[in-house]
Amino acid sequence: MEGSGDEEAAAGGPLQHLVKRQRKEKRELQAKIQGMKNAVPKNDKKRRKQLADEVAKLEAELEQKHKEELKEMKEASPEQNKEKKAALEKEREERIAEAEIENLTGARHLESQKLASLLAARHLEIKQIPSDGHCMYRAIEDQLKDRQNSWTVATLRNQTAKYMQSHFDDFLPFLTNPSTGDMYSREEFEKYCDDIANTAAWGGQLELRALSHILQTPIEVVQMDSPPIIVGEEYSDKPIILVYMRHAYGLGEHYNSVKLLTDSATENSS
């Protein structure tokens, strides 16, 4: 029986080694991807799209490589099926544990805590919005529902593009070609506006400025490490409030909406 146990341990050795190496390769790829993301300017929509394609290709290639490696090992040693399943299950458990640690100590968790504290002081809390390229517009759409405004994301995007096109001189000076550093040409500007209306291009400061004028409403952006940004201060309506998160997802930047703090009434009565 002891001999049998030794053989099982020996059989499991190469598989354990393969699993560990594959995990290391995944971590190295994610670090590489993060570096690639950090190197691309936020306003370079074209490069961001190219980056997303490059990232998907790199991840798919590594996943295929790992599948083939596991398949080869399985075909070479059918008797290792049990050990393989155990190793993969152990890997899954370890990854879950690592994710929990990251959630508790990482930048995303710390940012969420700080923002929750800032909003709680105003009897507000974060309302999660999907991260799909439309998050800024979805957050505004959510805020408008409370004002009996039924504008959709598509409407907000179309109106933003039209406003920027009709106020060309107000926005063009703030857009530059990331490759040359030159101010956008009229053709590049038209393409930028077309992307706003017809793609999932991310929204930012310029689009918020346009939307504040369209809605004739201030828009306040709450963030972690600096005072809130308010665009459209010239308008007297109650501000639309968005939450800007730098560390929310893989690509970093993300907008959420807000809602009344669920337990604010309890807090006020205590």
Interval 75-114: pLDDT, tens: 665 555 666 667 777 777 777 666 555 555 566 667 677 8
Residue reference for tokens 């691309």: 40
How many Cβ atoms sit within 10 Å of the Cβ of residue 269?
A: 6
Query: Residue 74 — pLDDT band, cuts 50, 70, 90?
Result: low
Helix (H, G, I), strand (E, B) or coil at 127: strand
Candidate list 134, 135, 142, 213, residue with the active-site label:
135
The reported pTM is: 0.57
Domain boundaries, the chain: 2-105, 108-269
Amino acid at 93: E
- Specify the CATH number for 108-269; select among 3.40.50.720, 3.40.50.11900, 3.10.180.10, 3.90.70.80: 3.90.70.80
**117, 108, 127: which is closest to 255 by C-alpha?**
127
Candidate list 44, 182, 254, 263, residue with the active-site label:
254
Candidate list 132, 169, 182, 225, residue with the active-site label:
132
Q: Which two tokens stand for residue 258?
A: 């807000």
Cα dihedral value 57, 58, 62, 65, nearest 10: 50
Does the active-site annotation cover 132? yes
Interval 101-154: pLDDT, tens: 555 556 666 767 787 788 888 898 889 888 888 999 999 999 999 888 989 999
